[in-house]
Amino acid sequence: MTKADIVSRISDRTGMEKADVLAAVEGFMQEVRSGMESGENVYLRGFGSFILKRRAQKTGRNISKNTTLIIPAHYIPAFKPAKTFAKEVKVNVPVKD
């Protein structure tokens, strides 16, 4: 599912114009992004949390040059689904072979 699909579905269900729905979705994504860029986690009860995970400093290797380098500690964004959300996905989504 793409952002366009989400906008189309919300527009169909609510009767709102697609441009208005797109503006709301874009605004939501921008707020999540700016909150996380400033070091905040974003909690959406019943859906999940957008959290920052800390990665420790580690040593990496450049195989082609046969050298080692230090990768500094950093944060990465992650999504942690709510327990109810994860349970519904586990129960309702069919297993694909």
Q: What dotted CATH number matches 41-97?
A: 4.10.520.10
Residue 50: what pLDDT? 97
Write the pLDDT tens digit of every residue in 22-49: 999 999 999 999 999 999 999 999 999 9
Reference 31, options 18, 20, 44, 17; nearest CA is 44
Most confident of the ranges 19-23, 60-64, 87-91: 19-23
- State the pTM of this model: 0.78
Q: Is the pLDDT of residue 61 over 80?
A: yes
CA distance 17 to 34: 26
Q: Is the pLDDT of residue 97 over 80?
A: no
Structure confidence at residue 12 as a pLDDT band (50, 70, 90): very high
Q: What are 58's strand-pairing partners?
A: 71
CA distance 15 to 26: 18
CA 13 to chain CA centroid, Å, is 24
Residue 94: what pLDDT? 87
Exposure string for 32-60, b = 16+ CB within 10 A, e = fewer: eeeebeeeeebeeeeebebbeeeeeeeee
Domain map (residue ranges) of the chain = 1-40, 41-97
